[in-house]
Amino acid sequence: MTFSQALLERAQPMMDAIMAHPFVQAIAAGTVPNDVLNYYVEQDEHYLKDYLQVTALTITKTDNVDDINQLLTTAQFVQNESRAHQVMLEITGHTIENWRREPETKRYTDHMYASAYHGTYADALAALLPCAWSYAVIGEQLVDQGANNADNPLKEWIELYAPQMAPDAPDYNAWRFEALDRAVAPLSPTQLEHVAQTFLFSLEMEWRFWEAAWQQTHWQFEF
Ligand SMILES: Cc1ncc(CN)c(N)n1
């Protein structure tokens, strides 16, 4: 069993919890409250900007030119995500106001930056991976369930993330896990567990990102 296969087995209960999360279930039903959508988009604007910058840092940690090109290519997907945000904003009528970065957003992006600054190349990849992987699972499963029906105002959002809607596109997540398996090859058992923890922390933060929007979590104080 490869490192990433074992990691995905450990990750499965978290992924199941993400699929069962009320926000994700409300996306499936097309019934997400407007204030939840607005909070999510405002926070995700911060997140995606940081995701691109952490990808840039990750690129500096490898000399493998194929990996550098792949990381640059996969980062391009973030451009499609402005459309994903637009779909949500068209429902609510909100325009981006650059709200404050809320606690779980900060916790997640701090983790990604720290992993890329202080960790190995494998840590940097592992911190980024749950973002693309978990959304591909969400998109795939929601389309399989028929949630992208014509009555769902979030149909386009769902289809943007569903890999089966772009069958000719390369399987970028397969590449990401393959790159992770190559990156961990020289690592010690202690370092391997560190990489696993880095990935699982990011996946936990994916759940918390949905939860923070659902609960409308804010800082306790203005400062
Ligand atoms: C928090 C978060 N995680 C993942 C994705 C999908 N790229 C996203 N837009 N936002």
**CA proximity to 25, closest of 158, 118, 197:** 158
As a whole number of angstroms, the distance between CA 100 and CA 19 comes to 27
Q: Percent of the chain beyond pLDDT 90?
A: 98
pLDDT band at 162 (very low <50, low <70, confident <90, very high): very high
The rounded Å distance from CA 149 to ligand 1 centre is 22
47 lines ligand 1 (CB under 6 A): yes
**CA proximity to 214, closest of 44, 92, 33:** 33
As a whole number of angstroms, the distance between CA 27 and CA 24 comes to 5
As a whole number of angstroms, the distance between CA 186 and CA 95 comes to 47
Mean pLDDT of 81-87: 97
Regarding an ipTM greater than 0.95, the answer is: yes
Mean pLDDT of 51-57: 98
Q: What is the pLDDT, as a whole number, of residue 82?
A: 94
Mean pLDDT of 94-119: 98
Closest residue CA from atom 4 of ligand 1: 131
Contact yes or no for 125/180 (Cβ under 8 A): yes
Closest residue CA from atom 2 of ligand 1: 131
Q: What is the pLDDT, as a whole number, of residue 21?
A: 98
Mean pLDDT of 147-176: 96
User: How does pLDDT run across 163-218, given as a tens digit for each residue?
Assistant: 999 999 999 999 999 999 999 999 999 999 999 999 999 999 999 999 999 999 99
pLDDT band at 137 (very low <50, low <70, confident <90, very high): very high
Q: What is the pLDDT, as a whole number, of residue 147?
A: 98
Closest residue CA from atom 3 of ligand 1: 131
Residues in the chain: 223
CB neighbour burial string for 181-213, b if at least 16 within 10 angstroms, e if fewer:
ebbbeebeeeebebbbebbbbbbbbbbbbbbbb
